[in-house]
Amino acid sequence: MTHCFTYGSLMCEDIFTAVTGLTLSPLPAQLAGYTRHPVIGTDYPGIQPAEGKSVPGMLYLDVPHDGLARLDQFEGDEYLRERVQVRLSDGRIESAWVYVFHPDQRERLAAGDWDFEHFIAEGKARFLQRHPPAPL
């Protein structure tokens, strides 16, 4: 088992559960050294390295390997899974996997920060229509 840091649609527990088949309660966390941007033409974000910046998100603890395999399939070729260190709200540092937007596709990242609250209010329903959960 391993941990997984999420910073976009997968911060929503219902989407995470639909994708992985797992019911886990995430913890708020921060990923230093990255920025989060909207992916042009979609409702989800991508992250890229950026010194001095950080990305808020949620950390899912103890994700089994079959859950990671489902996440790999969900994220597809747009993302690379990388090992990072994240900081929890209590100051603890945990090692986790994160999906970084593929460097070959960075021109698809828009300027500015992706807005999670806007996603919940306006993008989540569209996202679920375009990306129905994979069968478990």
Q: 31 has which bridge partners? A: 55
* CATH class of the region 2-6+25-59+69-119: alpha beta
> For 3-38, what is each residue's pLDDT tens digit?
999 999 999 998 999 899 899 999 999 999 999 999
d(CA 11, CA 131): 15
Both structure tokens of 101: 């937007």
How much is the average pLDDT of 33-58? 96
- When pLDDT is cut at 50, 70 and 90, the band that residue 127 belongs to is confident
Q: Are 75 and 97 in contact (CB under 8 A)?
A: no
Domain ranges within the chain, ordered by starting residue: 2-6+25-59+69-119
d(CA 67, CA 118): 27
